[in-house]
Structure 1
Amino acid sequence: MDTTSLAEALHARTAAFAETVTGADPDARVPTCPDWPLRVLVGHIGQAHRWSADIVRSGPSPVPDPLDADPGAPATWTDWLRQGADDLTKSVLDAGESPVWTFFGEQPARFWLRRMLHDTTIHHADAALTTGTTIEVAPDLAADAISEWLEMLANPVTASLRPDFAELCGTGQTLQLRAGHGEGWLITREPGGVRWARGTTAADVTLAGPVQDLLLVLTRRRPAEDVTITGDRALADHWLAHTAA
């Protein structure tokens, strides 16, 4: 996705997130982030957008604690969230093709638009679960979110940030995500980490379903039973147990 498409998608997802939390109880517990009330979830989104914008403008800074974020009064959440997305978009557009810091080395500034778009999408699912509403993710965006998540899991840096991910090493076991019409992802667990590629082929276990469902199961926002699993169920369960987003 190019920078313009990412920026448009981020604004649309942020607006959808804001609509989901409007009028909801700020103290409602988020079932998929059980230590957080809804206020903290909202704070995290606006905080993360602003933090990413600061990185693009000024370089690396410590990862902020969501508990320190102050989204303000619920009546102001929509504007506050929109301002964070605007700030990130402006910083990325101003940076152009200049490389900026990321966890994985210097990359074009649009890395942060993509990262925040998909982070906001997954947390929109959290908000929808909290408020008893639904979420819709366009197939192309859901597919890109899956690819981005696998890119991060396959990067050796990730295991140093999240020790649980080191448990994904294996001896050649394969998992397939199949979204239909030949679209899919093949994941191979190797001694040195995770390798993945687009496409479909025979695998030890296959998770099949609509691409949005695959994304939400993969990030543990939906139960595994919401997709069709064939093959080594224990392998799928182990993967999901160690890949919470």
Structure 2
Amino acid sequence: MPGLDLGRLVEGLREQTEGFAQAVAGGDPEAVVPTCPEWRLRTLVAHIGLADRWAAELVRTGRPVPAPDPAAANPGVPGVPGEWGAWLRAGADELVGAVREAGEGSQAWSFFGTVPAAFWVRRMLSETAIHHCDAALTTGAAFRIAGDLAAEVITEGMELMADPRAETAVPKLALLRGAGERLAFRPYGMEGWVITRLPEGLRWERGNGPADVVVSGTLTEVMLVLARRRPPGEVTGEVTGEVTGEVTVEVTGDRALLEHWLEHTLM
């Protein structure tokens, strides 16, 4: 269940949508996204704007709707970077409006089964936040995310991967089953997350208990390592709070266990 209420999730979606819009403003539509090399910047923009509108349709109808292909010809997607911002904001607003009209507890379809409509605001907050980082890495813009939102992105990822229905939707997650191995992700100065790989699936909890491998860094950096947008390891430089610059991401323990996790993770 979300740690943040719907009001903050809505604010967070809008914050990250605005950050994404600013990051892509004036960018080259044909620029390759380094963290998603199969995509151009225009594809990344299309993905977020279309996904918001798709999620809104799922909420309105309560049944599955074919997911849009951001690489296909989509007449509604602006081809001019100067028009991207307004289109992206409108997509987030459409999703928020659909959830509020339906009621946050109303039921909607998802790949994991039936979920409360508010699930899609949280899901698109996480999706937008990670792709905001992708956009910033593509254009050289700054990436920022508030601490409570970064923590929510991490928690949502843990919940999705530990859901018993997850392996049906994403079969590679079965490769993350284990024999009790534990991975800890510990942001500086706060309670972290511990994942346990069990024969029957994944379990996670908040805390700083013992683990076979530990990743430590700022909250933003830990989020980005989990999302495979930052390489785990020793990257030295100035710690800049919630702004991702070159900071220290420390890994202690069984690095092979971490690398296997990152290779097969959903986030």
TM-score range, shorter chain: over 0.9
> How many angstroms does 1:105 deviate by?
2.6
The aligned counterpart of 2:161 is 153
CA displacement, residues 29-85 of structure 1 (integer Å, 9 cap, x when unaligned): 001111100000000000000000000001221222221245212221111111101
Letter in 2 for 1:179: P
The aligned counterpart of 1:112 is 120
Structure 1 gaps, min length 5: none
The aligned counterpart of 1:44 is 47
What's the TM-score, normalizing by structure 2? 0.88
Letter in 2 for 1:74: P
Does 2:5 match 1:2?
yes
Q: Tell me the secondary structure at the aligned position of residue 187 of structure 2.
A: strand
The aligned counterpart of 1:77 is 84
Aligned pairs, number: 245
The aligned counterpart of 2:255 is 233
The aligned counterpart of 2:214 is 206
1:67 to 41, 48, 71: 71
Inter-partner Cα distance in structure 1 for 2:112 and 2:22:
33
> How many angstroms does 1:136 deviate by?
1.1
**Given that residues 220 and 244 in structure 1 are in contact (C-alpha distance below 8 angstroms), is that contact kept between their aligned partners in structure 2?**
no
**Given that residues 193 and 205 in structure 2 are in contact (C-alpha distance below 8 angstroms), is that contact kept between their aligned partners in structure 1?**
yes
Q: Tell me the secondary structure at the aligned position of residue 36 of structure 1.
A: coil
Q: Which moved more, 1:19-28 or 1:130-139?
A: 130-139
Inter-partner Cα distance in structure 2 for 1:141 and 1:95:
24
Letter in 1 for 2:141: T
What's the TM-score, normalizing by structure 1? 0.96
**Given that residues 177 and 214 in structure 1 are in contact (C-alpha distance below 8 angstroms), is that contact kept between their aligned partners in structure 2?**
yes
Q: Tell me the secondary structure at the aligned position of residue 92 of structure 2.
A: helix
The aligned counterpart of 1:176 is 184
More helix by share: 1
CA displacement, residues 182-216 of structure 1 (integer Å, 9 cap, x when unaligned): 41111000111111011111111111111110000
> How many angstroms does 1:167 deviate by?
1.0
2:34 to 23, 31, 35: 31
The aligned counterpart of 1:15 is 18
> How many angstroms does 1:100 deviate by?
1.8
Does 2:247 match 1:243?
no
Inter-partner Cα distance in structure 1 for 2:24 and 2:87:
13
More strand by share: 1
Inter-partner Cα distance in structure 2 for 1:34 and 1:165:
22
Inter-partner Cα distance in structure 2 for 1:232 and 1:16:
36
